[in-house]
A and B are shown apart, each in its own frame.
Chain A
């Protein structure tokens, strides 16, 4: 069974601080996705990383895929209150890539 472990589970920071969220597994993934979910809504895709060692930037968010494709990280620079939400990583649990599983998520709270 492929599992995705996310850490930390909760993060409470002040506006302007930097933070990193981790997504780790003992299994190799062909790709990993990061989603953000706000209360009362469904998750929304932020990014997909496909190549080992890949780095993608989305404004103040930087995503990395580990060289061995077993882990990924999300780094937020100068967090804003609008970054508050649940961050989820996801990857395919089966060879066919048809069963997308999620980590338990990191709840981020950014206060002003």
Chain B
């Protein structure tokens, strides 16, 4: 069972470079979201989507873009990477349309990004 798959697992970028973190789920979940995790900060919500074609901003959306063209995929784009974006990024999906009220979030294994 694949669940939520994130690629790449590790990436090093230079300041100003762009890249896309990929996230795919095979559970037919409507809800998907992206978080970043920094030491002592817990998980902070970047963007989320309640279904194909619908996205919304979370707590820390600046510097990140998302799109949701299919139910399965929810890529996170960094258009011009900055050292402050060095973090571990987690993608999650849920079988609840709300993603929150009683809906369990299923997380990927994370993508560790370093921006030099």
Contact = CB atoms under 8 A, between A and B. Distances in A.
Given A31-B102, A48-B104, A91-B100, A101 B109 contact: no
Contacts of A53: none
Interface in A90-112: 90-93, 96-105
Interface stretch (B14-22, B42-50, B76-84): B42-50
Contacts, number: 80
A45 B92 contact: no
Contacts of A103: 42
Contacts of A40: 109-110
B40 interface: yes
B104 A92 contact: no
A88 interface: yes
Q: How large is the interface on A (under 10, 10 to 19, 20 to 34, 35 or more residues)?
A: 20 to 34
B52 to A, nearest CB: 15
B56 interface: yes
B1 interface: no
Interface string B7-28: 0000000000000000000000
Interface of A: 6, 9, 30-31, 33, 35, 40-45, 48, 50, 88, 90-93, 96-105
Interface of B: 4, 31, 33, 35, 40-45, 48, 50, 56, 58-59, 90, 92, 98-102, 104-105, 107-110
